Structure 1
């Protein structure tokens, strides 16, 4: 008997058949159902652990807005006809830290107000003192510093002269426009040291006899006051000043005086 015949004999032997019980099929189905449920439960538990861990990590991160995070996608597991849905919500909190900027190089600083808005403060600049006016010391043909001979040559002086100081060093002259005997004072060294301006004449700033003290100070901001007299320095060569004699409220005389003079009465 060859091998093929022996195999046929064995396969046809009814004693080697495996006979199943009537409930074998149902038992196999129930076992497969239990395995599917265990796998589903394991998958759901793992998804929950991952989602909870992600939510805990997200709560540690700062956010730029104050709204709660959107709900995370749900995890769904199914077994036969039954569906289970689990939702996990995560929320984030925010923290805001404000740092003041360093002071600027210009000297200004920022101050926080109650509303949290920075307010810039600036130190006001100190105004510079008023500068002397630039104007030559001259009225008509007479100039401060002019020698006596040159002054007489203009024809503006009225002779004879008179002593202008107790030492009889300086001479005083009246002029054709101002009959006062001390209208012009001349030093033998400095030349003309003072000129009296006629009452009808006005300075380039509009000041004349009758102008108020306030008008003088407004026209000449650098003017200084000594008693009832105001002095307004001019920027010229030689250096000189306006002298405004007042009665306390208005100008009574306007004079032009050389700053460097050697006549004791000037």
Structure 2
């Protein structure tokens, strides 16, 4: 039985119908295909190199051909004797991304810069500025000056003698005000009060007849004390304007030394 199998195999191997016959141009076709694959790998290597250069900042717009053939030739032609060469152009586009800073806000800073916001913006603070004290004004009228001694006050010729006792102090009328206590002098403190004549005005144009509202506008620090408005001046020695009123307008303006020991002053 083994002999029969050997005979059958020999018969089959000797049958010419099972032979594979190569065409005359088979060798050339194989060589051409290998050449095309080699050129394709070379073209792809060149393309990768170009892409790497573009990433480094070098822009290339056209990939040159390699020899007489390019990477576009991939398939064999139908004719074994004629090779059709097609050229292709590879164009690489380079994209540049530009980051633009956001506009600054009203305070000059850039949103998102610096310390991150907590999400709870602080409320605007409201501050109240107290009224400024009245400007320093000399505590004097004519030749009379608050704090001067009685002897110096008499030498000015502004006082009308004899004086009138005002407790432990002495009151004098003046050539412009007939009241006996228009000027009051303390033995220890000197001249402690001067009464201004009705025509005399303060540095802010307050005088007898000035409405109370105008006095408060002129002197925001004025303090109401009964029928009087008192304004302490920023001067040395310390003294105060005393505006006597009838509730509507000023009736008398006096200058008073703060440090005094005369009753009722």
Measured against the shorter chain, the TM-score band is: 0.5 to 0.7
Shift of 1:141: 2.3
For 2:132, the equivalent position in structure 1 comes to 130
Measured at CA, do residues 90 and 210 of structure 1 come closer, stay the same or move farther in structure 2, by a change above 3 Å?
same
Within-5 A mapping of 1:1-266: 29-46=28-45, 50=48, 76-79=70-73, 80-83=83-86, 85=88, 99-101=112-114, 127=129, 130-164=132-166, 168-266=167-265
TM-score, length of structure 2 as denominator length: 0.61
List gaps (5 residues or longer) in structure 1: 1-22, 62-69, 103-109, 114-120
* Higher alpha-carbon deviation: 123-132 or 253-262: 123-132
Q: Is the 8 A contact 1:212 1:250 kept in 2?
A: yes
Higher strand residue share: 1
List gaps (5 residues or longer) in structure 2: 1-22, 65-69, 74-82, 102-110
Q: Is the 8 A contact 1:213 1:251 kept in 2?
A: yes
Alignment RMSD, CA only? 4.4
Measured at CA, do residues 40 and 131 of structure 1 come closer, stay the same or move farther in structure 2, by a change above 3 Å?
same
Q: Is the 8 A contact 2:44 2:71 kept in 1?
A: no
SS in 1 for 2:71: strand
Size of the aligned set, in residue pairs, is 214
1:147-192 superposed Cα distances (whole Å, 9 cap, x missing partner): 333333333223343332xxx2122222221112221112121121
TM-score, length of structure 1 as denominator length: 0.60
1:183-234 superposed Cα distances (whole Å, 9 cap, x missing partner): 1112121121111100111123222112233433443454444344332333
